[in-house]
Structure formats: C-alpha cells, structure tokens
C-alpha cells in the first residue's frame, strides 16, 4: 500500500501557501484492508475513509467515467490495480493533478513531485489547462476553473481549454447544472481576490449567458459618463465586485454588489444612457435569481435592500430629516442595524467602483450611521407614553415617535453634532 498527498495541497505548497485541507490517495489497497487498519468509511458514492488519528480524508485511487450520455452520474472504478497516474488523469486541471509520497508531504519540493501531466510547468507559467477531454464530462469544472481564475488573476486559460469549454456550453452542458452547485461555486468565486475574473472567464466561453443572463446583458449598455466615466454597465459591475474584494466585504455584501444594477440591462434603448427606475427592475431580477440559485436568506435579503435603495443612499446627503428617517425605515435599519451597515458598505463599493474614483470618500455612509445612531437613541417608549397621556392613539403615537427621531436627525446639522 502506498499513500500520496495529492491535488490542491500540493499545488498550494508549490505556490508558497499552506493551511488548507489535505487530500490523500491510497494505491494498492482495498476498502476491507483500510477498515482493518482503523480507517472509517465515509464516502457513499466514492471509496473515501477518515484516518483513525488525524481524521483527514484518504481515498482509494480510482478512475471515473460518465455513466451514459446525458446522465449526470459517474461510474467509479477503485481496486488495487488502479495506479496513481490513473487517479491523477481523472482530475480537472494539470495544476491539480500533482502528487508527492506521504513521507515527503511535510516539506514538498519539486524533486519529490509526481507530475505526469505537466502541472508544475503550467503552475510556473500561470496557465489553467484541462487534463484530458474527460473535463467535458462534468460542467461544474467550468465554474471551478473560473473560480481559480478569480483566485489567481494573473493566470490565463489555455486556448485549448477555453475552446473545450465553449464546446461544452454549445452542447448545453451548463444548462442542467444543479442550482446548489452553481451557487456554491459562484459564492466561493465571489470571495476570491478578484471576483471579476470569475465572470470574465464565464463570459468568454459563453457560460455566463446561460447561467446569469441578467448580468451578461449589461456589457455594451451605456451609462451617463458624468456619473460613470467607465460608461459600460458591465465594466462597472465588475469594478464594483473588485472594490468589494478590496474592502474585504463579506459574501452578503458581494452578492448585493452583483445584483444591484441588473435592471440596467432592461432599460429601453430610447432612454439610454439614463436608467430611471432601474432600482425596482433590479430588485425583481434579484428575486428571480435568488429563487433560481436557491441563495441563502441573508444574501437574498441584503441584495433586495441594496437593489431598491442604493440610489437613495447615494443621494442621502441631500435628504431632509424626514426623508432620511423614511429611508432608514424602508431599509429596516432601526430593527436590523447590522444589515444596514452591510448595505452601506455595498453602496460604498458601488460609488467607488467607477473609473478614476476608487479612492473617493463616501461620506453618505458615515452620515447615515450617525442618523441611525441618534434615531435609535430616542426613547420610543417614553415618547409613546407621553403622547398617549395627551390622548394620542395608534398612528398619532407612531407619528410622535417619528417626529422626535426627525428632530434628533436634524440636530446632526448643528454645531458639534458630528460626534
């Protein structure tokens, strides 16, 4: 029995990174022999076991093939005769198809590398290249490759791999992806160093038009140059995502950034480059996208708020105290201040994700944080009690509380109110 460290852990070590999960491949063993040594079987569809001490995953070397044309399942073959090279050949990219013997896993060096498919050369050249034509049997690999491109923006996609991806898209392979897998890969890609690369790669092979046509149609749609020096709405969308990464925004904010301007793709041509009412159209498209991908609730709710209100938040420095309070209420900021903080961050990403404006201050965020703070400081119970003793009822009491909050917001304009 021989044991090898494989895949991402080897790749990352060669890049000088560490700390990720480690995957091990066992050659020359059977499920029974591993179980006899104390390994715990955990794979339902694949021969995967947990180490008795480290609890890391150990998989029997295996081959895979698509079970039938048009069917999403795979036939797995694992027995002592499957070699390490056989196992490496079933993987997606050459940079993920390298291995080292277990006794060299603590200090990985090129001289110990088992690299039958040229992964090290591609890693050094910064190339994402598929291993074999079997890449086409699993359309999730398109999303994985795009995610790696977002992680390492300087990497390029090999011409032959991009051509294969286009063939897969033309054959309808991505049309049948399970929504949960799409969201899983998109969410991970959004959290990479340059999320724009994820969507650029998907667009370059035609997959974006199938998976996210609402975003794909933004390219070529103009905006007013006085507000958007970059003009193109698709370019702006990518700049906003990269600003979210620069500001280390959480996934909720990055998804909100992704959806905030989708409605601009449905603006009638005769009114361009203006986009009146795009906020409401964006919110409707976000709702449909959330349903299609089964996006988690926290991401969905923030994206809805940002799509509907980002324009008003951008204009908030010119709002009256009453209008400012109504904005806070529409955003449910008094009940959910933490989510409102995330909405402000998404709007800052939108404002700074424009050509030449990356380092421009966004005072709207601090102004609205102050407004929310003083509004929350109002003792609503005491105001309601006072109004009630004066004969006020229902809506009148609510109006009295609002009036007190508006006065508190108005006081921010006075001397010493910035505290």
DSSP letter for 152, please. S
Q: Which of 42-46, 102-106, 209-213 has the lowest mean pLDDT?
A: 42-46
The vertex-285 CA angle with 284 and 288, nearest 5°, equals: 90
Higher pLDDT, 306 or 102: 306
With b for 16 or more beta-carbon neighbours within 10 A and e for fewer, the 199-234 pattern comes to: bbbbbebbbbebbbebbbbbeebebeeeebebebbb
> In the block, which residue shows the tokens 């140059």?
225
Closest CA to 263 of 243, 287, 239: 287
**Which residues, in sequence order, are bridge partners of residue 128?**
157
Q: Among 27-36, 47-56, 76-85, 156-165, where is mean pLDDT lowest? A: 76-85
Q: Are 26 and 1 in contact (CB under 8 A)?
A: yes
- Structural domains of the chain sorted by starting position, each given as residue range(s) with its CATH number in brackets: 2-124 (3.30.460.10), 378-419 (no CATH)
Tell me what the pLDDT averaged over the chain comes to.
91
- For the ranges 53-62, 89-98, 110-119, 254-263, the lowest mean pLDDT is seen at 53-62
| Segment 359-377 mean pLDDT | 97
Query: Encoding tokens for residue 102?
Result: 């277990």
CB atoms within 10 A of CB 252: 21
- The H-or-E segment that residue 27 falls in is strand 23-27
Distance of CA 399 to the CA centre of its chain: 41
| Among the listed residues 310, 326, 312, the one whose alpha carbon sits nearest the alpha carbon of residue 371 | 326
Query: Would you say how long the chain is, in residues?
Result: 419
Cα 27 to Cα 291: distance, rounded to the nearest angstrom: 43
Distance CA 139, CA 128 (A): 16
Nearest alpha-carbon partner for 115 in 138, 142, 84, 72: 84
The answer to whether the beta carbons of residues 28 and 2 sit under 8 Å apart is yes
Q: What is the C-alpha to C-alpha distance for residues 417 and 335, in angstroms, rounded to an integer?
A: 23
Q: Are 140 and 181 within 8 A, CB to CB?
A: yes
- More confident of the two residues 62 and 253: 253
Instruction: State the DSSP code for 75.
Output: E
Average pLDDT over every residue of 49-56: 89
Condensed to tens digits (0 to 9), the pLDDT of residues 211-259 reads: 999 999 999 999 999 999 999 999 999 999 999 999 999 999 999 999 9
Per-residue model confidence (pLDDT) at position 77:
64
pLDDT tens string 252-297: 999 999 999 999 999 999 999 999 999 999 999 999 999 999 999 9
Query: CA 414 to CA 147: how far, in whole Å?
Result: 49
């Amino acid at each position: 029995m021989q044991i090898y460290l494989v895949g991402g852990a080897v790749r990352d070590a060669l890049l000088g990174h560490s700390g990720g999960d480690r995957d091990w491949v066992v050659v020359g063993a059977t499920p029974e022999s591993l179980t006899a040594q104390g390994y715990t079987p955990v794979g339902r569809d694949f021969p995967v076991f947990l180490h008795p001490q480290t609890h890391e995953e150990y998989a029997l070397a295996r081959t895979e093939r698509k079970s039938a044309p048009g069917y999403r399942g795979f036939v797995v073959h694992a027995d002592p005769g499957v070699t390490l090279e056989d196992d490496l050949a079933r993987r997606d990219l050459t940079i993920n198809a390298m291995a080292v013997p277990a006794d060299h896993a603590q200090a990985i060096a090129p001289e110990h590398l088992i690299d039958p498919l040229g992964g090290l050369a591609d890693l050094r050249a910064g190339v994402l290249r598929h291993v074999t034509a079997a890449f086409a049997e699993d359309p999730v690999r398109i999303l994985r490759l795009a995610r790696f491109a977002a992680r390492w923006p300087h990497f390029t996609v090999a011409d032959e791999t991009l051509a294969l991806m286009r063939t897969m898209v033309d054959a309808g392979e991505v049309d049948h992806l399970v929504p949960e897998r799409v969201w899983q890969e998109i969410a991970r890609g959004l959290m990479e160093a340059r999320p724009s690369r994820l969507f650029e790669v998907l667009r370059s092979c035609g997959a974006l038009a199938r998976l996210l046509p609402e975003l794909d149609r933004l390219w070529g749609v103009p905006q007013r140059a006085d507000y958007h020096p970059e003009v193109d709405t698709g370019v702006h969308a990518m700049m906003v995502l990269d600003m979210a990464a620069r500001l280390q925004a959480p996934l909720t904010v990055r998804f909100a950034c992704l959806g905030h301007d989708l409605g601009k793709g449905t603006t009638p041509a005769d009114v361009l480059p203006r986009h009146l009412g795009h906020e409401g159209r964006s919110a409707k498209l976000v709702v449909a996208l959330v349903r299609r991908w089964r996006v988690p609730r926290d991401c969905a709710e923030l994206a809805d708020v940002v799509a509907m209100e980002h324009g008003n938040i951008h204009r908030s420095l010119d709002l009256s105290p009453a209008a400012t309070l109504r904005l806070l209420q529409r955003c449910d900021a008094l009940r959910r201040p933490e989510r409102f903080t995330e909405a402000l961050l998404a709007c800052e990403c939108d404002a700074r994700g424009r050509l030449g404006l990356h380092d421009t201050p966004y005072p709207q965020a601090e102004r609205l944080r102050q407004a929310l703070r003083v509004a929350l400081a109002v003792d609503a119970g005491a105001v309601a009690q006072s109004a009630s003793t004066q004969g006020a009822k229902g809506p009148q009491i609510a109006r009295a509380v609002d009036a007190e909050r508006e006065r508190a917001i108005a006081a921010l304009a006075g001397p010493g109110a910035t505290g």
